Chain A
């Protein structure tokens, strides 16, 4: 039993990385938007429920504010009325191009690349069909793209249906923490951030999404390997719909986790490998901590082991840093989560993720696309 307790000590190591992420940073100047034209590309597959509202929201927020705004909707051979809904929305000042791919259904990357090919401007904004960027988000991101070292600039994702049920509350907190880590990584030279597939501004010459389950992460890894920078600005945000059922959530996460294995081929360099391990540990560290301490108290109860004060200091450290990470991320993005959500996230999500990672070792059928039956405001 004692070797087991001592053997589990390295689970505290990631806490040092979190503390480093919280503590360190770099000051990035925020430029002014000077009327750069932007093309928005929205790939869709059976998005009838959300695409109409998304287009209306985009027109409301960016019409007249972004010079030469162009919106490109690519219908990736949907079986519902996505094309008709998107084509019904017209505007006299903003160009809205709606394309329908007949040979579609080959994944998001093909549809996005098709849209980018038909874009007129050099700055591309990739959005999901359910993404509603907040006001001024694109204006905040556009100045970064002018820098020669920067390949892409992204915002953060917020959950629109946060108060729907316990799952959406947890997903919202999960996004907050993930956003915070991405934002801080873009500020520290020794970490690499990944751009999300939505609310991302990218230079047209770099916007060639590879054929993959996680095309956004794979393109980010490729760009970082070539020496380009990805900037994350916390002022730019977009709201999304989180899966409302456990099954839909698991399907989405299994698709991402399965896709993440394919990223390992980019991790020849040490920095990127650390990045990968950090993400892995970020998800499952609470579970490992809980397991290790259950063993510790069990051993103590059966007198296999005497109490160790140094172990306590490591435990305190892990708990402080984990909750500091949660609190700091919520504070930076002005979000409020109740104590119950934090505790459920700490106790459940990491166990759930162990299941997801184990399932992702086996192949999946199809794309595991999340079905959106309803829109939320």
Chain B
């Protein structure tokens, strides 16, 4: 028991010495995970919407291109809820992706001017993270496929 406490204390002491950029690295990593989660939620609601529009496929493009002003005018309750949730998750995904990109870009460019006082290899780590985050986003939209599954509509039943 004593050993465990000693060890954990030792780890804590080590953490105290951690550089600020490690916290930024952890934050960026968590943002990438959030972006993956948000993307999957966004496409889930898009799939639900597609199943709603399965009889009038030609109106689905209008749904996809719908903006906030049109959303307020929409009378159909289901469409309203789904679009709002999809917009929310797409905003979260965009924000997390945007933040990841800007953090990585800022660190790469500021370290170029030697303003941060961080080791040389750090900019390479952030470069790798930037490319990984871009690839994850690319995969999430490029390999999306529509499927007309009815069962997903059950998710909305509680709100009616």
In the assembled complex, B28 has its CB within 8 A of some CB on chain A: no
Interface residues of B in 29-50 (CB under 8 A from A): 43, 46, 50
Q: Are B58 and A317 in contact (CB under 8 A)?
A: no
Residues of A within 8 A of B138 (CB): 22-25
From B66, which residue of chain A is reached at the shortest CB distance?
A149
How many residues belonging to A are interface residues under a CB distance threshold of 8 Å? 36
CA–CA, A187 to B138, complex, Å? 12
Q: Are B131 and A29 in contact (CB under 8 A)?
A: no
Count of CB-CB pairs between chains A and B under 8 Å:
97
Residues of A within 8 A of B55 (CB): none
Q: Are A24 and B112 in contact (CB under 8 A)?
A: no
Using A311-B112, A314-B112 as known contacts, say yes or no to A23 and B61 having CB atoms under 8 A apart.
no
Residue of B50, B97, B108 touching A24 (CB-CB under 8 A): B97
CB proximity of B127 to chain A, nearest CB, Å? 5
CA–CA, A143 to B141, complex, Å? 22
Q: Are B141 and A6 in contact (CB under 8 A)?
A: no
Using A9-B113, A19-B130, A24-B137 as known contacts, say yes or no to A29 and B105 having CB atoms under 8 A apart.
no
- The residue among B97, B114, B141, B144 with the most chain A CB atoms within 10 A of its own CB is B141
Using A310-B120, A314-B109, A314-B112 as known contacts, say yes or no to A27 and B101 having CB atoms under 8 A apart.
no
Main secondary structure of the interface of B (DSSP, over half): helix
Using A16-B105, A28-B61 as known contacts, say yes or no to A316 and B127 having CB atoms under 8 A apart.
yes
In the assembled complex, B72 has its CB within 8 A of some CB on chain A: no
In the assembled complex, B22 has its CB within 8 A of some CB on chain A: no
| A to B CB contacts below 8 Å, 24 in the list | A16-B101, A16-B105, A19-B101, A19-B134, A20-B101, A24-B97, A25-B142, A26-B141, A29-B60, A29-B61, A34-B58, A147-B59, A147-B62, A149-B61, A149-B65, A150-B65, A309-B121, A310-B111, A310-B123, A311-B112, A313-B123, A313-B127, A314-B112, A317-B127
Across the A-B interface, give the 9 residue pairs with the lowest CB-CB distance, nearest first: A23-B134, A25-B141, A309-B120, A147-B61, A23-B137, A149-B65, A313-B123, A23-B138, A310-B112
Beyond known contacts A23-B134, A27-B141, A314-B108: 19 more, CB 8 A cutoff: A9-B109, A9-B112, A16-B101, A19-B130, A20-B101, A22-B138, A24-B137, A25-B141, A26-B141, A28-B64, A29-B61, A146-B58, A148-B62, A149-B65, A150-B61, A187-B141, A310-B123, A313-B124, A314-B123
* Chain A residues at the B interface, C-beta cutoff of 8 Å: 6, 9, 12-13, 16, 19-20, 22-29, 31-32, 34, 143-144, 146-150, 187, 229, 308-311, 313-314, 316-317, 320
